[in-house]
Amino acid sequence: MKIISGSISLDEIKCMATASFGDMVKAVVDIEKGLLALDAELHSDLEAQLLQDGSIQKNLWGINLYPELPNAEFVEFDSMINVRPSGNNRSRGVEDAATRQKIMDIVNRKVQA
């Protein structure tokens, strides 16, 4: 598990993917603090670490990163931690376009090609 406050190279993410799921790395983004947590078996493990470090649950969103895919397919919005009917998100995806954009902005700042 790694929490990225600065940046991480795409090559590092590729190594993480190879060592775990083969083609994918699970990640959780804190859209308020601009943090990216990577490399755990479950999104909930990453979420728990960020919560322990002071993040607030409503700001945490689970995604998957596919480092070998083109830019448009690099991020997948799919995680059980995203299901929160009380927050108006009833699916594993991220239904709010503005929230998806915040996530993409953070990922694009953190991941260096």
53-84 confidence digits (pLDDT tens): 999 999 999 999 999 999 899 999 999 999 99
Rounded Cα gap, residues 112 and 32, in angstroms: 21
Q: What integer pLDDT is reported at residue 113 of this predicted model?
A: 83
Q: 31, 17 in Cβ contact below 8 A?
A: no
Q: What integer pLDDT is reported at residue 69 of this predicted model?
A: 96
pTM over 0.85: yes
Task: Report the number of distinct structural domains present in the chain.
Answer: 1
Average pLDDT value for residue range 4-16? 97
Token pair of 51, please? 């919560």
Q: Residue 107's beta-bridge partner residues?
A: none
Structural domain range at position 9: 2-112
Q: How many CB atoms lie within 10 A of CB 53?
A: 12
